[in-house]
Amino acid sequence: MLITFFRAIILYIIVLIVMRIMGKREIGQLQPFELAISIMIADLASIPMTETGIPIFNGIIPILGLLVMHLLISVINIKNLKAREVICGKPSILIYRGKINEKALKKERFTINELQERLRGNNVFHLGDVEYAILETSGQVTVIQKPEKRNTIPEDFNITPEYEGIPYDLVIDGKIMYENLQIIGKNYAWLKKQVEKFNMTPEEALIVTLDGKGQIFCQKKESKGA
């Protein structure tokens, strides 16, 4: 039983490292070859995890082999456009200029109901509002609405919004993010002064953030006795 426990931990670490090396794509964004490799890795890890009679390297070596294969295919995808089309396929236009492309639906084995479901997932509830719907190689559907149905943006009114930048976490659960303080050119003394305006110390804060406009958000940790 103890052997199985440690084998599971080792294989989990190996799979975790391999998946991190493979990249940060979400499951719904995986290309077909990436999904196939992910499934195979899971299957290879599960066998030596439970079968103690099988050497653990019988699972680790094939997993590393799949990692090498993944990296090789990824390089080919970057270098060769034709190979990319063969491996990943090409996007399909399901709706073109407001008209449903029946041939594309049949080719991709997509029903009208599935198309409507994907549109609803993009917050589009009426087919008549869609100018283009594109089935990406990852299986996701990108929707471009008709100009009169799209949400307005500042550019439509010739308005140029102020630059906002990105927010920085300065304190998380009472821990000072010194690296972020250094990025924004501040120090602990400045942070303490800012947080004291909220009647607390940085160590007492649940979170402290600074946005691109210089505004600070601060919330105090709940007391343990609360």
Same CATH topology for 92-149 and 168-220: the answer is yes
DSSP-assigned states of every residue in 17-64:
HHHHHH----GGG--HHHHHHHHHHHHHHHHHHH-TTS-THHHHHHHH
Mapping DSSP to helix (H, G, I), strand (E, B) and coil, where does residue 162 land? coil
Supply the pLDDT for residue 224. Answer: 65
| pTM given for the model | 0.62
**Cα 119 to Cα 121: distance, rounded to the nearest angstrom:** 5
Q: Is 51:83 a contact under the CB 8 Å cutoff?
A: no
Give the tens place of pLDDT for each residue, 105-133.
998 888 889 999 999 999 998 989 999 99
Closest CA to 104 of 121, 114, 91: 91
Check whether domain 92-149 has CATH 3.40.1370.10, yes or no: no
The CA distances from residue 141 to 103, 104, 124, 135, in Å, are 17, 13, 12, 5
Q: Is 209:217 a contact under the CB 8 Å cutoff?
A: yes
- For the record, the structure tokens of 214 come out as 């210089």
Q: Is 192:203 a contact under the CB 8 Å cutoff?
A: no
pLDDT in tens, the chain (226 residues): 677 777 788 888 888 788 777 765 555 566 777 777 888 888 888 877 777 777 888 888 888 888 888 888 888 888 887 887 777 778 899 999 999 999 999 988 888 899 999 999 999 989 899 999 999 887 889 999 998 888 887 888 888 877 777 889 999 999 999 999 999 999 999 999 999 999 999 999 999 999 888 889 999 988 765 5
Give the tens place of pLDDT for each residue, 172-183.
999 999 999 999
Domain-wise residue ranges, the chain = 2-86, 92-149, 168-220
Assigned fold of 168-220: CRO Repressor (3.30.240)
